[in-house]
Amino acid sequence: RKEVEQDPGPFNVPEGATVAFNCTYSNSASQSFFWYRQDCRKEPKLLMSVYSSGNEDGRFTAQLNRASQYISLLIRDSKLSDSATYLCVVRDGGATNKLIFGTGTLLAVQP
Amino acid sequence: GAVVSQHPSWVICKSGTSVKIECRSLDFQATTMFWYRQFPKQSLMLMATSNEGSKATYEQGVEKDKFLINHASLTLSTLTVTSAHPEDSSFYICSALRRGTSGAYEQYFGPGTRLTVT
């Protein structure tokens, strides 16, 4: 089983749609969780951290369920510029600060 | 914000040669840097953790004699791919660890180096 698993995608949605990505992680000792965005042939960039109470940043909402070891990202009112690969990332539970990346979900927002 | 640079951004080399990739933290000191590799349509895979002044820690399955890491200063880590083969062609990305104002550690990624071995 992979340490971080995501929806396989790709997701093709029209502009203005709401889209949700899911992610599960296997290490119950993991402490920190993130969503990164990666554009084609570019490095990943932090989109938002995910907190236990859930958090929102504009059109983006992240949720964490520690009991189910499940993380989600909701994007409302999708824009063309949201087209990218979204990576679910978990920080290793030890003291190493290593990040474990999911395989990513490709989002294509259509005009 | 924290800036991490990589050089070169892309390189083409012949099979059997060695290639050095530099990763620099431009506006902060990083005692820890990470090297990742990403093959097409796959996720980032951690290769090794680079620690300033000490030996790198390699992930399982990564050959330390093939991927030489040197972290000689607080702002520079280098990855040398020795005796490169076509299967080493990949996107190599580094990140540098920085402690934020909240006390939490954050990773800042370089722009990546695309290596093609012919």
The answer to whether B45 contacts chain A (CB < 8 Å) is: yes
Asked if the model's pLDDT at residue A111 lies above 80, the reply is: yes
Which of A43, A86, A100 is best to mutate for the B interface (most B CBs within 10 A)?
Answer: A43
**Could you tell me if A96 and A29 are in contact, meaning their C-beta atoms sit under 8 angstroms apart?**
no
| Alpha-carbon gap, residue A96 to A75, rounded angstroms | 31
Q: Sign of torsion, CA A38 B57 B27 B79?
A: negative
DSSP character string of B59-86: PTT--TTTEEEEEEETTEEEEEE-S--G
What's the rounded Cα separation, in Å, for the pair B14 and A95? 39
Measure in Å the smallest separation between the Cα of A88 and chain B Cα atoms: 10
Nearest to A98 among B46, B91, B104 (CB): B46
**Mean pLDDT of successive 10-residue stretches along chain B, which has 118 residues:** 90 97 94 93 91 91 95 93 96 91 84 96
Q: What is the pLDDT of residue A9?
A: 85
Instruction: Please indicate whether, in this complex, the C-beta atoms of A101 and B97 are within 8 angstroms of each other.
Output: no
Least confident of A1-10, A69-78, B104-113: A1-10
**pLDDT one-digit tens code per residue, A39-73:** 998 999 999 999 888 899 999 999 999 999 999 99
Of residues B90 and A2, more confidence is placed in: B90
Verify whether the Cβ–Cβ distance A42 to B112 is below 8 Å.
Answer: yes
